[in-house]
Structure 1
Amino acid sequence: MNALIPERTKKNSLLREWNGPLTQDLVLNPGGFGLGKVPGRLQPTNTVDSVCGFCATGCSLRVHLKDGEGVNLSANPSYPVNIGMACPKGWEALRVLDAPDRATTPLLKDASGKLQAVSWETAASTFAAKFKEIQQKHGPDSLAWLGTGQITNEEFAFLGALGKFGMGIRHGDGNTRQCMATAVAAYKQSFGFDAPPYSYQDFEDSDVLVFVGANPCIAHPIMWQRVMRNPHNPEIIVVDPRRTETANSATQHYAIAPKSDLSLFYGIARELIERGQVKRDFVEQHTEGFEEFETFVQDYTLEKVSEESGLSIAEIERFVESIAAGKRVSIWWTMGVNQSYEGVRLAQSLINICLMTGNIGRPGTGANSITGQCNAMGSRLFSNTSSLLGGHDFLQDEHREKVAGILKIDVSKIPNENCWAYDQIVQGVEDGRIKGLWIIATNSAHSWIGQGRFREAVEKLEFLVVQDMYHSTETAQLADLVLPAAGWGEKEGTFINSERRIGRTRKVHKAPGQALSDFNIFRILANYWGCSDLFKDWRSPESVFKILTRITEGRPCDISGIDGYDLLVEKRGIQWPYRSEKMDGETHRSLFSDGVFYRKNGRAKFVFDHPKPLPEPVCSDYPYVLLTGRGTSAQWHTQTRTSKSDVLRKLYPKDAYVEVNVDDAKALGVSSGDCVVVSSRRGTVKAKAFVTPTVQAGQLFMSMHYAETNYLTKPDFDPYSRQPSYKHCAVRLSLPDSAAVQ
C-alpha cells in the first residue's frame, strides 16, 4: 500500500476492506461455534460464542444472530470460565454499541477550538504531520501514548510495534498501570516472571480462601459464584477496612485499620513459624531467602500487629489458626493491595505466606492476583510497554534479536531501554517534555489520580489525539483529534483472562458510520506515517496472532502450540503456557506443580521490607480517611459504556455519593441523601451522603466510577511498580457552604 492514499476511490475501497462485511467468517455447526471461514459472504447462522469485553473474568457469551447481526445474548453453558453464568454488564454488552454519542467520524479541532467532522484522509495525514513535526522539533522524548486493557492482543501488539518500531515513539504505557502493575512487579521479583499461578477451579477446590482488599461479590461476580459452588464448606476470610458485600458473606471479616495490612501479614507469618507451620522440605528445595525472612518477621509480634491493625490478639490468632488448619489455602487480592504506595511488598507478603506453608502448585492453593480489565493480561504480555513483546526484556540483547528476527525488522528499531511509566509520562506532559500524546481506549481525564493536575497538564500539549468509541468522554472533549473506534462485538481478536486463558472475541455488530477497529486504525496510520512496509505481514488479526505465538516460544507464556483461532474455539479457551496438546492440554491448569519457578535458579524468592509511613495521614484539618473502589456490579470503570444502558443505569446511583459511618453522620448532622462536601488538599467536590455501618468511624468511601472521586485522590506511587495509591488519602467532610467545588 502507498504511504498516502489521496484518491477518494482508493480511500473508500480501503475503508470498505477494513470495516469488512459483518461476521463473514461464521458458519453454522452443531456445537454452536463458528469454526469455518468463507470470506466475503455472510453465512446463515444462529449463534456464535464470544468472550466478554468488560472484566478479566473472561466469560463466554453466546451471541444470538438475526440476519448475521447480534441481537441478544445468553451465557455460554459449556465454557469452563462462567459455566452458563453472566453478570449484568455481560447481559447488556450489545446494548451499549448503539448509543447516540458513538464516535462515527474523525473529529478535528478547528481554529475556534470546536471539534468538526473530517475525513479519515484528513485525520490520518494530520496525525502524521503533527506528530512528526513535534518529534523533529522537540526530540525523541516528546511523544508518548497511553493505552488500555480493553483492546485485543493483536491490537496491543500492533500499537506497541507501530509506536516504537514504526514511529519511533519511545514512551508508551497503559491504564493497566493503574490496576495490575503491582502484581506484575511482585510476581517478577518473587517468581521470575509475571505469572498468576491459578485456575478458577481453585475457587472450588480450596478449603480456606483469603480475600485481601478484594470484593469479588460485585467486582467479579462470576468468580464469586465459583466460590459459592465450593463443596468443601470452606472458611472464607476477608481482610478489608469496609464491611463489603463479600465481607458480609464471609465466615471471617477483619476490618483492619487502612494500610496496616503489611504489618498484619508479617505478623501472621511470624505466628505460623512459631506454630511450626512451615513446610521445610518445600522451602529448602524450591525457595531462597527464607532464613532472612524468618529473622525479619520476629519484630512483628502479636502485640505490635494488634496495635497497628486495630485487630485484637484473639482475632489475629484465629486468622493464623484458620490458615494453619487448611489443607488447601488460597490467597486472593485485587486493588486493595495493588493500588498502594507499598503494594508490591504487600503482595509479596501474601506470596511469602503461600511459599512458606507450601500452598502453591497444588489444587486449591496459590498467591493469586485477580486481574481487572478484560485484557489486562494481554496488555502485560503484548503491549510493548513494561516488557518487550511476548514477555521479553528490552534490556537483553538476545531477546531483542529474537523478536526482531521474527518480525523481520532491523534490531536497531527495538529500544534497548525501558520507557517511562504512566505517571512519568504525565509528569513529562506537566513539565513540557512531552508535547504530543496519543490516548487509546481509555478515559484518563476521569480515571487518573489527582485529576486536577492531569487536566492542567494536558492543556500544555501541542497535540492530543484520542482514539475511542465515544466522542463524549471527558478525555475526548479535550482532544485536538478524535479517531472513532469500534468496540467489543465489532471486531475480531483474542483476550487473556485472569487465569491466563486465551479466548476469542467475535465481530457480531457493524461499527457505526466510519468507525474502525483499532487494528485497522493502526493500519491506516502506518500507511500515512510511511512505515507500512514493516507490517506487510500484519494483514488481519489472526495473522498477527500467529506471529505472537512464535514470539512467545521458549518463554513462560509460550503459546506456540496454538496454530490459530479455530483451536481456541475448539478447546473453549486455552491457558498459557500451551506448547502442545501433550504438554499443556488440560482444561484447568495451575502453575508450579513441579516446584520449579521462573528465576534462573528455579527457586522462588522471599522478598520483604518494613512498612513505610503513610504519605498523607489524617490531621485536624483533614480528619477522615478516604477509601475508593468499585461501586456496583452494573458499573464499569469510568462508565463510558455502562452509562449507555438503560437497564444498567437503573442498578446504580446516578450521582456521586459518599458512604459515611453512622456515628460520624450523627455528629455532623448528616442524613442519607443530603448533599455534602468532600475536600482534600487537591480539590473539593459535592456528593450525596449515604449513611451506613459498613464503613468504620473516621473513614469515608467513594466509588471510582464517578469523576468527582479523582479530584480528591493523592498521586503517590509504589517505587517498584509505579502504580498509583488510590486507596488512601486524608479528606474533610462538611455541609455545603460557599466553598468552591468541582
Structure 2
Amino acid sequence: MNELIPERTKKNTLLREWSGPLTKDLVLNPGGFGLGKVPERLKPTSTVDSVCGFCATGCSLKVHLRDGEGVNLSASPAYPVNLGMACPKGWEALRVLDAPDRATEPLLRGEDGELHPVSWEKAASTFAKKFKAIKERHGPDSLAWLGTGQITCEDFAFLGALGKFGMGIRHGDGNTRQCMATAVAAYKQSFGFDAPPYSYQDYEDSDVLVFVGANPCIAHPIMWQRVMRNKNKPEIIVVDPRSTETANAATTHLAIAPKSDLSLFYGVARELIAQGHIKRDYVDRYTEGFEGFEDFVQEYTLEKVSSDSGLPVSAIEAFVASIAGGKRVSFWWTMGVNQSYEGVRLAQSMINICLMTGNIGRPGTGPNSITGQCNAMGSRLFSNTTSLLGGHDFLNEGHRNKVSEILKIDVSNIPDENCWAYDQIVNGVESGKIKGLWIIATNSAHSWVGQGRFRDAVKKLEFLVVQDMYHSTETAQLADLVLPAASWGEKEGTFINSERRIGVTRKVHKAPGKALSDFNIFRLLAAYWGCGAMFKEWDTPENVFKILCRLTKDRPCDISGLSGYGDLSAKGGVQWPYRSEDQDGETHRSLFSDGKFYRPGCKAIFLYDHPKPLPEPTCSNYPFVLLTGRGTSAQWHTQTRTAKSDVLRKLYPKNVYVEVNPTDAERMGLASGSLVSVSSRRGVVKAGVFVTPTVQPGQVFMPMHYPETNWLTKPDFDPHSRQPSYKHCAVQLQPVG
C-alpha cells in the first residue's frame, strides 16, 4: 500500500535536505543529493547559472558542466529568489532530458494511421501546405494555436507574432488560461494592469500571512521556506477545505465549505468596516467605489457567513481580529482561487480588503497571486494572446501603431480585436469552425477540464500539429504531425517569475537527434510559410529580447532600461519595471508604494458581485464533492517530465488515488488500498483509496497530475477570465471487487 500513501505521510528526509543549504558533497554529487564518490568523468570543470524551468518560483540553479554539457547542478546561494535552496523537481531537472521517449525527429501520420519519421523539410512544408489550405477553404477563424507557460519570453513572442502577424491565424491562447487568467483579470480590472504587486521578501516581512486555496508547502516549497525565514513570529492563516500540508503547519486553519470563500471575505470586510479598521485617508486618496462596496457587504452578517462557510462565528471574529491587529498583512492565493467559476470576484474580495486596510504598497503586505508555471508571467506579457506584445491592447489604435513601428511591420497585420480564449477555441473545434490546431509544449489531452469532451472534439480536426519534447504525451499521440522540440536546458532565453523577476535560462545540454529549439522551429516555419522576411531581425533569442525591451517602453512592465542578457546575469535577475540603472540597489521591489495605480485617475477600484450558486451541487446520485490539486512536491502538472525521473517517481504514488474521510470510509466499508470507481456526470475512473482525515466528510480529493482526474471535472468558466473551474464537482464512489 506504500505506493498509495501521499508524500506528507512519509518522513520527508530527502526534501529537507533538498530545501536546505548545500554542502560540498551535495554540490558534487551527480544525482543532486546524497553522498558518494563522484566518477572522474562527471566531475565538473565549469559552472553556469540558469533559472529553473519548472514552477514560477524562478530559482537559480548552478549547472556544473563537463566539456560544455551539464552533468549535475546545485542551487545558487546568492540568488535573491531561492538563496541556495531547491526543491526535488529542480534537483532532477537534468535527468529528465535523456528520457528514451524524447521526440528526436518529426513524425507525420501516414495513410496507415501511424506516425512515421520524416525530414524537417517535409514536416515544415506539410505544416504550411495543410494550414494554408484550411485557411483558404474556411477562412481565418478556422486555424488556432494553444500554447504554454513553459517556453521562454522570446519563444512566446515569436509564436505570437508569427501566428498572428505572419500567418494570419486569428485565435491563439495558452494553458496559462488554466492557471493564471483569473489573477490577470482581477488585477487588470482593479488596478488597470496585470500587476502582481509583491516580492518574495514580503514572505519574511509580514506579521500576518493569509493563504487562500494555496498549498505552498507542496506547490511552491521554496516560497514556503521564505515564510519559514520570517523572524516576526507571524500568524499564518490558511483558508482551505482540506487540511493540507500548509494548513497543518499554520497557526490557524479555517476549514471552510468548498466555494464559500467569497461570502467569507465579504463578511470579513463588513466586520472590519463596522469596527472602524479602515484606512479612510488611503481609501479616499487612492481608490474609488468604496461607498458602494460598504453598502454591498452589509447583508454579509456573521450569522450568514457562518451558515455559508460552516465556520463558527468565533472563528470568523478571530480572523477579523487578526487582520485588524496586523501591521503588515498579506494575502496569498493560487489555484484554489483562480480555478473557480467566480474566481475573479474572489480574488478581488481580497484585493478589496487590502485596499481598505492600507495593506498594499508596503513591505509585507499585498493581495498576491502566486503564479504556477515557470514563465506564465512571460506568457501574460509577450505571448500575443490575451494582450498585444509588451502588455499592450489589441483594441487600442495607438498601441497597434507603436508595435507596428517597432517591429517594422504593416499595422494592417495586427488584429484590432481580441481572439478567442482556450475554452472558446475548444468549442470552435467541437462545432467544426476550427479545422486546424497547433499545440505547443502543453498536454491538453490530459490537462483540459472535462477530458472526454476535448478528445472527442479534436477528432473533428482536419489537421492537428503537436510541438513537444516527448512523442509519448497523450496529446502527441493524437497528432497528425509531431514537431520535436528542445527543452529547458537545451536552449536559451528568459523567464519571468511570480515576483516579476526576469532571469536567464541557459543552454547546458545538447538536444537529442534532430530536435530543434522552439525558437528555431518558428524560424523554419516562417520561412516555409513565406513570411520569413518579416522576422529577419529575429535571428537570436537575445536580439528578440532586446526588441521586447523596446516594446515595453512606457508601459507598466517597462524594461527598456535593460540592454541584454548580461544585465540580467550581472544584476541577479531584474524585477519589472526597470527603466534605468537608477532602480539598481534593491534586490526586491514591490509595486504601488506611491499609491498610484494604472487606471484613469491612478486610482484602484472596488469591484464585487454576489456569490453565485454552485454549478453542480451534490445530490443523492453524486453525494461527494471532488476537490483537486497538487499531490506532492515531486510531481509537476501532467507528469510529462517528472515521470521520467527515477528519483521523483519514488517520491509519489505510481497510481491514481482518492482521499476519503475515515467516517465515509467506515460507512462504505473502505480501507486504504481498496479500489473504487469514482464517477461524475462526465466519466468513470478507478482509483485506490487513501483513508485520511485531511478531507472533510462528504468530500474527496484527487491529485491533478493523474490523467484520470480530468475525466471527472466539469467545464464551468469564470465569466471575466474564462478560466476553468477544476476545484469542485459532484461525484459518486462505488467499491470495486
TM range (shorter): over 0.9
Distance 1:470 1:675 in 2: 31
Distance 1:201 1:353 in 2: 21
Distance 1:712 1:378 in 2: 31
| 1:296-335 equivalences in 2 (<5 Å) | 296-335=296-335
| 1:12-161 equivalences in 2 (<5 Å) | 46-161=46-161
| 1:706-725 equivalences in 2 (<5 Å) | 706-725=706-725
Letter in 2 for 1:156: F
| 1:337-416 equivalences in 2 (<5 Å) | 337-416=337-416
Distance 2:734 2:76 in 1: 48
Question: 1:13: which partner in 2?
Answer: none
Distance 2:590 2:67 in 1: 41
Question: 1:7: which partner in 2?
Answer: none
Contact 1:628 1:702 (8 Å CA) reproduced: yes
Question: 2:643: which partner in 1?
Answer: 643
Letter in 2 for 1:535: F
Distance 2:483 2:272 in 1: 55
Question: 1:530: which partner in 2?
Answer: 530
Question: 1:216: which partner in 2?
Answer: 216
Alpha-carbon shift at residue 259 of structure 1 (Å) = 0.2
| 1:216-615 equivalences in 2 (<5 Å) | 216-583=216-583, 585-615=585-615
Distance 1:585 1:116 in 2: 55
Distance 2:584 2:467 in 1: 37
Alpha-carbon shift at residue 247 of structure 1 (Å) = 0.2
Distance 2:702 2:583 in 1: 47
Letter in 2 for 1:522: F
Alpha-carbon shift at residue 362 of structure 1 (Å) = 0.2
Contact 1:60 1:79 (8 Å CA) reproduced: yes
Contact 1:578 1:585 (8 Å CA) reproduced: no
SS in 2 for 1:145: strand
Letter in 2 for 1:428: G
Distance 2:248 2:506 in 1: 37
Distance 2:146 2:679 in 1: 29
Deviation digits for residues 63-98 of structure 1 (CA, Å, limit 9, x no counterpart): 000111000010000000000000000000000000
Alpha-carbon shift at residue 306 of structure 1 (Å) = 0.1
Distance 2:626 2:473 in 1: 25
Deviation digits for residues 613-650 of structure 1 (CA, Å, limit 9, x no counterpart): 00000000000000000000000000000000000000
Question: 2:618: which partner in 1?
Answer: 618
Alpha-carbon shift at residue 143 of structure 1 (Å) = 0.2
Alpha-carbon shift at residue 600 of structure 1 (Å) = 1.6
Distance 1:379 1:712 in 2: 28
Letter in 2 for 1:511: A
Distance 2:453 2:565 in 1: 43
Distance 2:546 2:242 in 1: 45
Distance 2:600 2:413 in 1: 28
Q: Which moved more, 1:86-95 or 1:576-585?
A: 576-585
Distance 1:192 1:280 in 2: 22
Question: 1:41: which partner in 2?
Answer: none
Question: 1:653: which partner in 2?
Answer: 653
SS in 2 for 1:588: coil
Alpha-carbon shift at residue 583 of structure 1 (Å) = 3.6
Distance 1:667 1:61 in 2: 49
Q: Which moved more, 1:577-586 or 1:428-437?
A: 577-586
Distance 1:261 1:731 in 2: 21
Contact 1:62 1:76 (8 Å CA) reproduced: yes
Deviation digits for residues 264-317 of structure 1 (CA, Å, limit 9, x no counterpart): 000000000111100000000000000100000000000000000000000000
SS in 2 for 1:477: helix
Letter in 1 for 2:457: A
Alpha-carbon shift at residue 611 of structure 1 (Å) = 0.3
Mind listing any 5+ residue stretches in structure 1 that lack a counterpart?
A: 1-43, 738-742
Alpha-carbon shift at residue 55 of structure 1 (Å) = 0.1
Letter in 1 for 2:291: E
Question: 1:26: which partner in 2?
Answer: none
Contact 1:182 1:721 (8 Å CA) reproduced: yes
Contact 1:577 1:584 (8 Å CA) reproduced: no
SS in 1 for 2:653: coil
SS in 2 for 1:521: helix
SS in 2 for 1:226: helix
Alpha-carbon shift at residue 483 of structure 1 (Å) = 0.2
Contact 1:209 1:236 (8 Å CA) reproduced: yes
Letter in 2 for 1:704: M
SS in 2 for 1:134: helix
SS in 1 for 2:715: coil
Deviation digits for residues 422-462 of structure 1 (CA, Å, limit 9, x no counterpart): 00000000000000000000000000000000000000000
SS in 2 for 1:601: helix
Question: 1:24: which partner in 2?
Answer: none
Distance 1:135 1:584 in 2: 49
Alpha-carbon shift at residue 735 of structure 1 (Å) = 0.8
Question: 2:27: which partner in 1?
Answer: none
Alpha-carbon shift at residue 45 of structure 1 (Å) = 5.6
Deviation digits for residues 326-372 of structure 1 (CA, Å, limit 9, x no counterpart): 00000000000000000000000000000000000000000000000
Letter in 2 for 1:429: V
Post-superposition, which runs of at least 4 consecutive aligned residues in structure 1 deviate over 3 A?
A: none
Deviation digits for residues 558-586 of structure 1 (CA, Å, limit 9, x no counterpart): 00000000000000000000001114652
Contact 1:447 1:710 (8 Å CA) reproduced: yes
- Pair 1:355–1:584, CA change in 2 (3 A): farther
Distance 2:408 2:600 in 1: 29
Distance 2:277 2:514 in 1: 62
SS in 2 for 1:707: coil
Contact 1:212 1:240 (8 Å CA) reproduced: yes
Question: 2:14: which partner in 1?
Answer: none
Distance 1:294 1:509 in 2: 57
Question: 2:696: which partner in 1?
Answer: 696
SS in 2 for 1:306: helix
SS in 2 for 1:62: strand
Distance 1:68 1:249 in 2: 42
SS in 1 for 2:601: coil
Letter in 2 for 1:69: E
Aligned residues: 694
Distance 1:517 1:672 in 2: 45
Deviation digits for residues 12-34 of structure 1 (CA, Å, limit 9, x no counterpart): xxxxxxxxxxxxxxxxxxxxxxx
**Sequence identity percentage:** 81
Distance 2:358 2:629 in 1: 32
Contact 1:65 1:72 (8 Å CA) reproduced: yes
Letter in 1 for 2:511: A
Letter in 1 for 2:506: R
Letter in 2 for 1:374: C
SS in 1 for 2:602: coil
Letter in 1 for 2:428: G
Contact 1:466 1:479 (8 Å CA) reproduced: yes
SS in 1 for 2:186: helix
Deviation digits for residues 476-515 of structure 1 (CA, Å, limit 9, x no counterpart): 0000000000000000000000000000000000000000
Letter in 2 for 1:63: V
Question: 2:24: which partner in 1?
Answer: none
SS in 1 for 2:282: helix
Deviation digits for residues 709-738 of structure 1 (CA, Å, limit 9, x no counterpart): 00000000000000000000000011126x
Question: 1:672: which partner in 2?
Answer: 672
Report the TM-score when normalising by structure 1.
0.93
